[in-house]
């Protein structure tokens, strides 16, 4: 076996999309290496919904059961305009195997995927950072730093991650699932263009005695979009879009420590703020908030890579696209991309399919993302569309917890056609 074949696919990034890519490849018998510059999976719920299509993908790998057991079923997406309930979409009408979305913390999804990889004999190489890539005709060469904690500082000693040693690795293909600051995308020189202005949200996660009866509630209030997601075990998440983002908005980075950060990092986001947001935007939420577990402000950019890769280096997930948080579209579309890439790569590696069979991957997902980001196509009102749906149609699209055919199906239920 030549050296370059020891790893057939190097996956850079062990977020949910990278972990799922590695798993899909491993299930197809592809030799895979997965690295991440951080020291463990993320510690918070972040993207907290799995769309029906994602549940099907997990089931195809035989790993849906554990996740289903630990998630909360969401059967309806209800829309409020101001304080009035305006309409709803029911997953059951999409007709798939899973007539619901599943609310499940991203941290849980990541650890289940990591466990599954371990069972298949693949260990995530944490503390390994890809620093450079170069593509040849037959392979990609990657430079990887193994990180360790080092002491530095003079007046005040601090520790930070430093390179312990630098390694060189070769793989037939590289998948960049390395998030929005992707080194893989940058090394390919692919532009990451803004689709529109960024949006900031105040996010509150809490325990309450509420009963949402298996639905997510999306609230359009003035110019803001807001969402209330139920989570398993009596927890909930309100995300309120900020009209005037403060200076403390968190750059988009995932935390790995399970310490409470609400009071420490965002002292201005308190339980009183949660109460004030609820009174102003959703006074119908009159349940008792028992404990505020987590609060933060976070900024969401809306971006799309000019292309999803080329030749032997390909992108999936946040490395290729960013959107707002409400519909969970970034993560779920990322899982679809991961599966699609794994199928195509294994066809090339195992069945002799041509290298250019990957070109269709970029076209497919660029097209879908252009729609989701309002850069082409979108939702148009049919004769049955109610006034609120006509008025809010551009805001509705990123809030629908689905992509592809399911999104079209759900939108039809309020008289909007996906074009």
Ligand X SMILES: Cc1cc2nc3c(=O)[nH]c(=O)nc-3n(C[C@H](O)[C@H](O)[C@H](O)COP(=O)(O)OP(=O)(O)OC[C@H]3O[C@@H](n4cnc5c(N)ncnc54)[C@H](O)[C@@H]3O)c2cc1C
Among all chains, which residue has been given the structure tokens 């699609």?
A: 340
Regarding 17 and contact with ligand X (CB under 6 A), the answer is yes
CB nearer ligand X, residue 34 or residue 385 = 34
3-class secondary structure, 376: coil
HSE at residue 360, side-chain half, CA atoms within 13 A, is 9
CB nearer ligand X, residue 14 or residue 171 = 14
Sign of CA dihedral 96, 97, 99, 101: negative
Regarding 330 and contact with ligand X (CB under 6 A), the answer is yes
Binding residues with ligand X: total (CB under 6 A): 33
Regarding 36 and contact with ligand X (CB under 6 A), the answer is yes
Alpha helices, DSSP H only, in 71-200? 106-119, 183-187
Q: Which residues from 346-375 bind ligand X, rule CB under 6 A?
A: none
Secondary element (H or E) of residue 16:
helix 16-27
Regarding 328 and contact with ligand X (CB under 6 A), the answer is yes
- Distance between CA atoms of residues 126 and 374, nearest Å: 36
Specify whether the CB–CB gap between 52 and 99 falls below 8 A.
yes
Alpha helices, DSSP H only, in 287-386? 329-351, 359-372
Kindly write out the interface string for residues 182-211 of this chain, putting x where it contacts ligand X by CB under 6 A and - elsewhere: -x----------------------------
Phi/psi at 48 (5° precision)? -120, 20
The stretch near ligand X (CB under 6 A) out of 63-71, 77-85, 178-186, 352-360 is 178-186
Q: Which residues from 249-268 bind ligand X, rule CB under 6 A?
A: 250, 252-254
The stretch near ligand X (CB under 6 A) out of 30-38, 271-279, 355-363, 392-400 is 30-38
Phi/psi at 110 (5° precision)? -60, -45
With CA atoms as reference, report the closest residue to 416 among 400, 42, 401: 400
Q: Which of 105, 325, 378, 398 binds ligand X (CB under 6 A)?
A: 325
Regarding 225 and contact with ligand X (CB under 6 A), the answer is no
Regarding 104 and contact with ligand X (CB under 6 A), the answer is no
> For residue 255, what are its two tokens?
């935390």
- Residue 314: CB atoms within 10 A of its CB come to 28
The stretch near ligand X (CB under 6 A) out of 74-82, 176-184, 205-213, 392-400 is 176-184
Q: Provide, rounded to whole angstroms, the least separation between the CB of residue 18 and ligand X.
A: 5
Q: Provide, rounded to whole angstroms, the least separation between the CB of residue 318 and ligand X.
A: 4
- CB proximity list for 312: less than 8 A, separation 6 or greater: 135, 139, 140, 172, 173, 174, 355
Q: Which residues from 232-251 bind ligand X, rule CB under 6 A?
A: 239, 250
Q: Which residues from 299-318 bind ligand X, rule CB under 6 A?
A: 317-318
CB nearer ligand X, residue 102 or residue 385 = 102
CB nearer ligand X, residue 83 or residue 253 = 253
Kindly write out the interface string for residues 39-58 of this chain, putting x where it contacts ligand X by CB under 6 A and - elsewhere: -------xx-----------
Q: Which of 10, 25, 94, 130 binds ligand X (CB under 6 A)?
A: 130
Q: Provide, rounded to whole angstroms, the least separation between the CB of residue 182 and ligand X.
A: 7
CB nearer ligand X, residue 333 or residue 412 = 333
Sign of CA dihedral 238, 241, 247, 249: positive
Sign of CA dihedral 75, 225, 228, 219: negative
Q: Which of 64, 231, 295, 298 binds ligand X (CB under 6 A)?
A: 298
> For residue 81, what are its two tokens?
């305009």
Q: Provide, rounded to whole angstroms, the least separation between the CB of residue 181 and ligand X.
A: 6
β-pairing, 313-315 with 158-176? parallel
HSE at residue 291, side-chain half, CA atoms within 13 A, is 5
Give CA separation, 11 vs 32, 61, 127, 216, 380, in Å. Answer: 7, 18, 14, 33, 38
Regarding 37 and contact with ligand X (CB under 6 A), the answer is yes
Regarding 106 and contact with ligand X (CB under 6 A), the answer is yes
Regarding 401 and contact with ligand X (CB under 6 A), the answer is no
Specify whether the CB–CB gap between 217 and 321 falls below 8 A.
no
Q: Which of 14, 23, 113, 333 binds ligand X (CB under 6 A)?
A: 14
Query: Which residues are near ligand X by CB under 6 A?
Result: 12-18, 35-38, 46-47, 106, 129-130, 177-179, 183, 239, 250, 252-254, 298, 317-318, 325, 328, 330-331, 334
């Amino acid at each position: 076996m030549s050296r370059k074949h020891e790893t057939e696919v190097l996956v850079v990034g062990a977020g949910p999309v990278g972990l799922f890519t590695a798993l899909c490849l491993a299930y197809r018998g592809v030799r895979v290496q997965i690295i991440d510059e951080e020291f463990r999976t993320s510690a918070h719920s972040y993207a907290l919904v799995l769309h029906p299509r994602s549940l099907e993908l997990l089931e195809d790998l035989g790993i849906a059961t554990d996740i289903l057991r630990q998630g909360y079923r969401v059967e309806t997406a209800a829309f409020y305009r101001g304080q009035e309930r305006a309409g709803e979409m029911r997953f059951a009408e999409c007709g798939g195997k899973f007539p619901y979305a599943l609310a499940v913390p991203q941290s849980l999804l990541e650890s289940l995927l990591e466990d599954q990889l371990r069972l298949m004999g693949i260990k995530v190489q944490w503390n390994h950072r890809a620093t450079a890539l170069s593509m040849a005709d037959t392979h990609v060469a990657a430079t990887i730093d193994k990180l360790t904690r080092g002491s530095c500082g003079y007046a005040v000693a601090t520790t930070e991650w430093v390179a312990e040693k630098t390694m060189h690795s070769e793989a037939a293909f590289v998948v960049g699932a390395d998030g929005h600051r992707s080194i893989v995308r940058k090394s390919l020189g692919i532009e990451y263009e803004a689709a529109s202005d960024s949006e900031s949200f105040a996010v509150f996660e809490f325990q309450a005695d509420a009963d949402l009866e298996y639905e997510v509630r999306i609230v359009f209030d003035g110019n803001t979009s807001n969402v209330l997601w139920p989570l398993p075990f009596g927890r909930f998440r309100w995300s309120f879009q900020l009209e005037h983002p403060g200076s403390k908005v968190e750059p988009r980075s995932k935390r790995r420590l399970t310490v409470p950060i609400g009071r420490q990092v965002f002292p201005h986001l308190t339980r009183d703020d949660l109460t004030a947001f609820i009174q102003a935007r959703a006074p119908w939420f009159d349940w008792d908030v028992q404990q505020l577990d987590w609060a933060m402000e976070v900024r969401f950019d809306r971006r799309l890579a000019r292309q999803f890769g080329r030749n032997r280096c390909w992108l999936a997930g946040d490395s290729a696209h960013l959107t707002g948080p409400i519909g969970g579209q970034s993560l779920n579309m990322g899982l679809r991309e991961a599966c699609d890439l794994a199928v195509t790569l294994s066809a090339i590696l195992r069945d002799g399919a041509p290298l250019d069979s990957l070109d269709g991957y970029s076209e497919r997902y660029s097209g879908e993302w252009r729609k989701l980001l309002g850069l082409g196509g979108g939702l148009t009102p049919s004769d049955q569309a109610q006034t609120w749906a006509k008025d809010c149609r551009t805001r509705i699209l990123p809030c629908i917890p689905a992509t592809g055919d399911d999104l079209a199906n759900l939108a039809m239920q309020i008289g909007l056609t996906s074009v």
